[in-house]
Chains A and B, each alone.
Chain A
Amino acid sequence: MLEVSNLTKRFGGVIAVNEVSFEVEKGEIIGLIGPNGAGKSTLVNLISGFYLPDSGKIRFLGEDITKKKMHERAKMGIARTFQNPRLISNMTAIMNVMYAVLGSERGSKLSLVEAYGEAAYYLDIFDMLKKRDVLVADLPIYELRLLELARALALKPKILLIDEAMAGLNPAEAERVSKLINRIREEFDLTIIWIEHVLKIIMRSVERILVMHYGKLIADDTPEKVVRMPEVVEAYIGEEVV
């Protein structure tokens, strides 16, 4: 489904992503981990089109998307969330999801009423329907995370890139978000790449882990094998891997 080949991104003298290559099959759920500054978010930014790579290629569903714009990639089915949720703060929760529905491939064929109905459906999945008329600026971080997931899902994505969905959440909230991510993956037949710092959750939620360190991909295997790899342990020296 997704094929990343020799992807490199430099910022001045810093190589944020260095010759990274991997493939993602349809339906996979993959964890992307690494110490701070490893290049995980940059990699997701490259896949979602926020940055264009200096070299390398990205193919999605067999098509070369390396130079495609962000909105074109979104329309192809690449959705993402952010460590710091990027929502429209002066709009209500449902309006935020509604404009994702309208921005999607099918959006032009929907009336405002139909888009509202669809948005309500996606909010309901995350138990956010009761907050539909609340301004985003007034929502706590846990609900912002759910809303961002609802907005991403409203695009009917084929692949979902999740950037630290647990950041700022307490353990109980993190558990609930983790369960919801697994639930939507099954219900919507999603492929997921999930950046996460809460390793205990990510290790038991995914089938495969990519580990980045100083911009390089240093490991790509099952969670059980990855935690025993010397290079991963070294990258996390001072930190407990699991």
Chain B
Amino acid sequence: MLDVAALIFSYTFIFGSLYLGIALGFTIITGVLRIFHLGYGAIFLIAAYGTWMFWKDVGFGFIESIVLSFALVALFSFLIYQVVIKKFWEMEDYLLAALIAVFIIIEELVNYAYPEIVGVYLPTTIIEGSISIGPASIPGQLAATSVIAILMVICYLLIFTKTKTGLIMRAISQDIFASQLVGVNFDRMFIVAMILASLPPAIIMLLIAPIWALNPFIGWPLFTYAIVVSVLGGLGNLRGTIMASYIIGFIHAAVGFSLDPRLMLLASLVVVVAVLVFRPEGLARAETIW
């Protein structure tokens, strides 16, 4: 009993931090741009398969390939803003359709170039083996990913609360119209937000690549986690995302270790729907990202 409790406690932290990292970029986009970025899942694919492409097909070193894949992710976010989001800004239905179409196109391109049988593997392991926390044994890479996810969130909080760019983004997230009146070029800030938001999912993807079997359709489950966490937390609010990540983490750990791991996602979805029935705006919906 004590062992199960320790496992649940440990994995609440591990899962929660992981989901926080996965959802961080989605929350930034929802918070600053006030759009539902249905193309978000493509970022995971571009990060993983871009690294593989630069490394194996183009012939760069592994570290250079990672750097280039981040550049590719940033370029993707820039282009998706310029070509899709800007064009359909005031036509939400077109915007959502176009974003999801981009995601599917990227997915199909990846599946064409690198189908599962290619066996894409990225050696991004930071900690080999397992580490023990009391009676709980945790894969070292998952623990490292969790810690890095938390560090990323701290970095982004510092950006939002302690920098000029962060202050302006928070203002835009509340009132884009008033921001323009004081001379803020929201176009430029949106591009910065899109690029900033693309880095956390790219980093998380590369960190979990050695432990989650990579396949061209991995973007969907990761995107699902981002949506579940963001919706439960309250769209576009970082405080809510932090709370929701650990709540979902707890549900997954509790259900996974005391019932059946196959029920983890189902259980969290039921809880999310139940919460939304009574609190449609999520746990901490706010007019500002922080």
A residues near B, CB below 8 A? 48-50, 69-71, 74-75, 79-80, 86-91, 95-96, 98-100, 102-105, 107, 110, 112, 115, 151, 154-155
Contact = CB atoms under 8 A, between A and B. Distances in A.
A75 B175 contact: no
Contacts of B125: none
A137 to B, nearest CB: 10
Contacts of B288: 88, 90-91
Given A102-B164, A110-B164, A151-B182, 12 more contacts: A49-B180, A50-B177, A86-B181, A89-B287, A90-B288, A95-B171, A99-B171, A99-B184, A100-B183, A103-B184, A112-B163, A154-B182
Given A71-B184, A74-B183, A112-B162, A102 B178 contact: no
A100 B162 contact: no
Counting chain B residues whose Cβ lies within 8 A of the other chain, the interface size class is 20 to 34
A103 B168 contact: yes
A88 B171 contact: yes
B82 to A, nearest CB: 16
Q: Is the interface of B mostly helix, strand, loop or mixed?
A: helix
A90 B170 CA distance: 10
Contact of A102 (B168, B180, B181, B186): B168
B155 interface: no
8 contacts: A48-B181, A88-B171, A90-B174, A90-B287, A99-B168, A99-B171, A112-B164, A155-B183
Interface in B133-183: 162-164, 167-168, 170-171, 174-175, 177-183
Given A71-B184, A99-B184, A103-B184, A91 B174 contact: yes
Nearest to A151: B182
A237 to B, nearest CB: 35
Contacts of B178: 86-88
A105 B182 CA distance: 10
A100 B162 CA distance: 16
A86 B177 CA distance: 8
B162 A88 contact: no
Given A88-B175, A91-B174, A80 B181 contact: yes
Nearest to A75: B183
A99 B174 contact: no
A49 B180 CA distance: 10
Interface string B167-208: 110110011011111111110000000000000000000000
Interface centre among B170, B179, B182, B286 (most CB of A within 10 A): B182
B182 A155 contact: yes
Nearest to B287: A90
B157 to A, nearest CB: 16
A103 B183 contact: yes
Contacts of B175: 86-88
B115 to A, nearest CB: 46
B233 to A, nearest CB: 17
